Amino acid sequence: MSRIGKKAVEMPSGVTAAIDGGQLSVKGPKGTLAMPLSDNIKYEVGDGSISVQPANDTREARAFWGMQRTLVQNLVTGVTEGFTKVLEITGVGYRANSQGKTLKLQLGYSHDVDFAVPEGIEIKTPDNTTIEISGIDKQKVGQVAAEIRRWRKPEPYKGKGIKYRGEYIFRKEGKKK
């Protein structure tokens, strides 16, 4: 039995959900999100909650149960609160600047890196070394953060690079004579 899957997903007031054409769509104050439904799972939209149950007793249905419930929870959280990831830049001369739908990064290369911000994502730079990525789709926010981080991953000797806020960088000692 899935401990996570047994709980119904509570919908706050102002959020509506509907199942149509093999998709679950959730509408809230921040927008609308949809996800395809799995054949192994039964979805029931009630008054104020969405419940997720396995459609049969197969191993695959039980494996999908908790994950599908979490995906439904992410839809509800996304349309009510949204998701945010914060990246921190460390290094001399490394900086970021948001200009409309483009993020301009200076990361020690001979050229500036221009990152085009995808639709549905908002990027803010409160200062030169902080990047805040926000949106209603958790997967998209995480993907954009990973793509920005990929330009200069943190290295273990000096700790220079782009890291997530709260991420611990394992530090190594340099060469000794």
pLDDT digits (tens, 9 = 90+) for 106-147: 999 999 999 999 999 999 999 999 999 999 999 999 999 999
In 91-129, the DSSP E strands lie at 95-99, 102-106, 113-116, 121-124
Confidence of residue 88 (pLDDT cuts 50, 70, 90): very high
CA-to-CA separations, 170 to 30, 60, 159, 163, 173, in angstroms, rounded: 38, 37, 9, 12, 10
**Rounded to the nearest 10 degrees, how much is the dihedral formed by the CA atoms of 114, 118, 124, 130?**
-60
Q: Which residue has the higher pLDDT, 5 or 104?
A: 104
- Give the helix/strand (H/E) hosting 31: strand 31-36
Say whether 83-164 and 3-80 share the same fold. Answer: yes
Which CATH number, 3.90.930.12, 3.90.1570.10, 3.40.190.10, 3.30.70.520, labels domain 83-164?
3.90.930.12
pLDDT digits (tens, 9 = 90+) for 72-85: 999 999 999 999 99
* Residue-level pLDDT at 177: 80
Q: Which CATH superfamily is domain 3-80 in?
A: Ribosomal protein L6 (3.90.930.12)
Query: 148: closest CA among 102, 83, 100?
Result: 102
Confidence of residue 152 (pLDDT cuts 50, 70, 90): very high
Domain ranges within the chain, ordered by starting residue: 3-80, 83-164
The helix/strand/coil state of 109 is coil
Determine contact, residues 135/121, Cβ cutoff 8 Å: yes
Query: 152: closest CA among 85, 94, 93?
Result: 94
Confidence of residue 1 (pLDDT cuts 50, 70, 90): low
How far, in whole angstroms, is CA 129 from its chain's centroid? 21
